[in-house]
Structure 1
Amino acid sequence: MPRRRSARKAPDDASAALPLFVQALREISLAGRTLSAKERLDLHNIGAGAAERGVPLRELIEGHLAEVWRSWATLPGVDAATNTDALKRTGEAVFRAAEDAVGELAKGYEETQRWTVRRDESLRREFIDDLLTGRDLGQLAERAERYGLQLAGTNVVAAACSSQPFLDSGTATSSVQAAMSLRFSSRHVLVTAREGLLVCVVPHDLAGAPEEFARQVGEIVGRNSSWRVGLGQPQSGPGGAVRSFEQARNALDLAERLDLDERFVKAADLLVYQVLLRDSAALGELVTAVLEPLRGARGGAERLLDTLEAYFACGRVTTATAKTLGLGVRTVTYRLDRVRELTGYRADDPAQAFTLQVAVLGARLLGWQRPAP
């Protein structure tokens, strides 16, 4: 944290403080002393004040050093020097003081800058917590403007998961944030880590932003690693971000339950599964009633479930199913016949196939326990 300012503050404006600095140089040129404790504190405070106002450090230091050169010829110690040795001693004292002054200016500047960064990071974390949990909605829109988000409009949230959790201070988080900011401007993109996920909030009309986010995650994590991005639906208003975030998380959860191959899953494409899960008790009863007999198959139910799943995914085409599973057509036909024998449902009958398909989906969604084949 920056030092507490002294009771007698140095002028906040660095240019207004230059006469005090010159006065110190005048005294030092005569006495050959170093900077006093008060002079050091004043310079430290000048550096801190410049950082608060956003004055570049280089400009601050250049201003003070330029004053050393401008005042050199008029310093009383220089004027009073009667020989080369005396002038040398005066020069050493003055330029040592100038060097110490630069050090104090830089320390005050850097301490305040670090404090400002920590404060901004703390404010940003608080804002993100409120944004993604729906707290303090009344003030959220006003606070969002600081980060370039227009919560009165419509935003969309993407969330990425990986085998390794994302951390707010992690390299992956900062790298994706930098890449997204470079591509779309930091005023339109907010990237953060939350609950082990990497979260991206963008305006819904920022074309290609969610896809670019997914691409950047793949680049950072590694395409051969385990990762997936879920995309919520566009939502408006201060509470829109939290709703879209929940949808993105649900999309990731559903993709995991269904063991989907897609790296980029959209909540809008998974609505049918959400509908099924709204009455999980009824869905569980359907799964048990339809699929429980498959447990009696030799080798268990898993191979028959896999076959049904592939069969429905291939549009109920036996040859395509066989190719997908790497099996012979006869094997697929045999397994479908076994399903009919055990459950009483025909996979090639449209009405009965629908019941079977919903039951298979329900088994995946509910994590229906079945013995290993």
Structure 2
Amino acid sequence: MTDETRVVRPAVEPITADGRRLVERLLHRRRDLAELIVADVKNEIVDYGTLGALTMSGDVLETSLLTVTDLLESLLDDEPAGSRHLANIQRSASRRVHQDVSLTSLLQSYRIWGARIWQAVLDEAGEDPVMREAALGLVSRIFSYVDMVSITLAQVYTEESAGAYRARDVLRSDLLESLLLGQVLSDRARVEIARLNLTSDSKVVVAVIKPGEIPPERVRAESIKILQACRQSMTKQTKVLLGVRDGDVICLVRIGNAAELQRVHAAAHEVAEQNPQWRVSLGRPHDGVTGIQRSFREAQEAATVAASLRPRGEAVLFSEVILDRILVRSDYAEDLLEEALGPLLAYDAEHKADLVLTLRSYIANDMNMTRTAKDLMVNPNTVAYRIKRVGQLTDQDPTTSTGIVTLAVALRLLGS
């Protein structure tokens, strides 16, 4: 799938107060509106009429609700036609390819969608001439949004139907999506997952490789390079399924034992070293097909940490950064940071000292004074003095287990 298509449009005048009231009313009943749209589409388009009830009430309805919400919220934010959820809408176009919905039918569904939205605006305005005037002020925005989404979906649909990533070892986007999001698996998805040869004691690790900040037109080419790197490094270690999601390369890796996990970690680091722009992250191993969704979420979390904390050129494992994620989300994180490191940071700034640097080295060297002194190129007595000063300033003794844990956690927070 391609990266999000960005449509640049001129600034528009804010909608009127009456126009905002119309939009807010529709926003309150957006689910009812989405259900009406789905009913219209099912009745008027043969391809949608042949889809199962589960698909219509699930996938199609949720996509309709997403686009209704997206449009109405963009109107309230006084934005020109655009989408904050375009990646999700794009994925729906890929799914329609494999649901045997033609491109003509897909585009017709959005014309019906736009017409139903516009009719809802008129109905909400009623016969009040002031409100009808406010409604007319929304028409160009509504159909600009329909045009923008239709152009994007046509591009995504065409690439998916042609096979943007043609290699046999790359999962279809709809199959990958069902595996990553824990959706009901189709027969085809079960066939694909069988390629991993999972057994009762097998686990699956998900690796995510992001191409980095590059122009949208280069995303597909970069994803293909990443796929090739994964084939060279990851697939030689164990059974792997590859896929591409919004430009990110996804690897589903079967893990049979601890030794295999170590080899996969090494292979991930090898991929990361090939291009400093790539961000490689891995979730933990989890049991079977049901564990794929959890490992994927963890890999995404690790990717967030990688973007802000870790140097480029190395893979980030969720197991290594789980503490960072827990700490950052704690209500007491700021208090701990202020109480444990605030005095040291203030002292260093006032006296041009290196207490924080010394503490960090002391922890990295397992509280060994001699190795810390060698690392900092100072006398061991200097290290001993600084560590004692840390304890005096923070009321946390770095030579005790409780004190060093508190200070180490605070340093992790400082890095976060």
TM-score bracket, shorter-length normalisation = 0.5 to 0.7
1:329 is the counterpart of 2:380:
yes
- Corresponding residue to 1:204 among 251, 255, 268: 255
Q: Aligned pair 1:292/2:346, yes or no?
A: no
Counterpart pick for 2:228 among 161, 175, 178: 175
Residue 270 (structure 1) shift: 4.3
| Whole-Å separation in 2 of the counterparts to 1:157 and 1:163 | 18
Q: Which amino acid aligns with 1:158?
A: A
Helix, strand or coil at the partner of 2:180: helix
- In the alignment, is residue 130 of structure 1 matched against residue 168 of structure 2? no
**Size of the alignment, in residue pairs?**
244
Superposition map of 1:151-230 within 5 A: 154-161=203-210, 164=213, 167-170=219-222, 171-179=224-232, 183=236, 188-194=239-245, 197-205=248-256, 207=260, 210-211=264-265, 213-214=267-268, 216-218=270-272, 220-221=274-275, 225=276, 229-230=280-281
Q: Is the 8 A contact 1:287 1:359 kept in 2?
A: yes
Change in 2 beyond 3 A, CA 1:345/1:193 = same
Change (3 A) 1:325 1:125: farther
Residues 5-16 of structure 1 mapped to structure 2, 5 A cutoff: none
Secondary structure of 1:315's counterpart equals: coil
Q: 2:234 and 2:399 mapped to 1: Cα distance? A: 52
Q: Does 1:241 align with 2:292?
A: yes
In the other structure, the counterpart of 1:268 is: 319
One-letter code aligned to 1:250 = E
Alpha-carbon shift at residue 144 of structure 1 (Å): 4.4
**How far does residue 243 in structure 1 lie from its aligned partner after superposition?**
1.0
Distance 1:128 1:345, change over 3 A: same
- Deviation of 1:178 after TM superposition, in Å, equals 3.9
When the two chains are superposed, the root-mean-square deviation of aligned CA atoms in Å is: 4.0
CA change 1:312–1:115 in 2 (3 A) is: closer
Q: Deviations over 1:66-91 (max 9, x none)?
A: xxxxxxxxxxxxxxxxxxxxxxxxxx
1:31-70 deviation line (CA, Å, top 9, x unaligned): xxxxxxxxxxxxxxxxxxxxxxxxxxxxxxxxxxxxxxxx
Distance, in Å, in 1 between the alignment partners of 2:315 and 2:265 is 8
Q: Secondary structure at the match of 1:183?
A: coil
Show the counterpart of 1:304. 355
Q: Contact 1:158/1:232 (CA < 8 Å) preserved in 2?
A: yes
**Helix, strand or coil: the match of 1:299?**
helix
Fraction of identical pairs, as percent:
26
How far does residue 351 in structure 1 lie from its aligned partner after superposition?
Answer: 2.9
Cα distance in 2 for residues equivalent to 1:141 and 1:151: 16
Q: Distance in 2 between matches of 1:302 and 1:237?
A: 52
- 1:265 to partner: Cα distance: 4.0
Structure 1 contact 173–191 (Cα < 8 Å) conserved:
no
Residue type of the partner of 1:145?
V
User: Is 1:281 aligned with 2:331?
Assistant: yes
Tell me, yes or no, if the aligned pair for 2:179 and 2:185 is still in contact at 8 Å. Answer: no
TM-superposed CA distance for 1:284, in Å, is 2.4
SS where residue 159 of structure 1 aligns? strand
- In 1, the alpha carbon distance for the partners of 2:209 and 2:353 equals 29
Q: Using a 3 Å threshold, how does the CA distance of structure 1 residues 172 and 317 change in structure 2: closer, same or farther?
A: same
1:76-95 pair list within 5 angstroms: none
Deviation, 1:312, is: 1.3
Distance in 1, Cα, partners of 2:367 & 2:347: 22
User: What CA distance in whole angstroms lies between the structure 2 residues aligned with 1:334 and 1:199?
Assistant: 50
Q: Which has the larger radius of gyration?
A: 1
Over 3 Å counting, the alpha-carbon distance change for 1:180 and 1:284 in structure 2 is same
Partner SS for 1:281: coil
Structure 2 residue matching 1:347: 3-state secondary structure = coil
2:282 is matched with 231
Gaps of 5+ in 2: 1-159
Distance (Å, rounded) in 1 between the aligned partners of 2:335 and 2:253: 41
The aligned residue for residue 96 of structure 2 is none
Change (3 A) 1:257 1:280: farther
> Structure 1: any 5+ residue segments left out of the alignment?
1-113, 366-373
Identify the residue that residue 401 of structure 2 maps to in structure 1.
Answer: 350
CA distance in 2, matches of 1:123, 1:199: 10
Q: Which residue does 2:302 correspond to in 1?
A: 251
CA 1:311–1:227 in structure 2 vs 1: closer, same or farther (change >3 Å)?
A: farther
Instruction: Give the distance between the partners of 1:243 and 1:345, measured in 2 at CA.
Output: 37
Q: Partners of 2:408 and 2:190 in 1: how far apart?
A: 45
Q: Post-superposition shift, 1:201?
A: 0.8
Match of 1:320 among 361, 364, 371: 371
State the Cα deviation string for residues 9-35 of structure 1 (Å, max 9, x = none): xxxxxxxxxxxxxxxxxxxxxxxxxxx
Give the TM-score normalised by structure 1.
0.52
- Mapped contact 1:234–1:244 kept (Cα < 8 A): yes
Match of 1:324, SS? helix
Query: Tell me, what secondary structure is at the counterpart of 1:230?
Result: strand
In the superposition, relative to structure 1, how do residues 324 and 212 fare at CA in structure 2: closer, same or farther (>3 Å)? closer
Q: What secondary structure, in the 3-state scheme, does the structure 1 residue paired with 2:185 have? A: helix
Secondary structure in 1 matching 2:172: helix
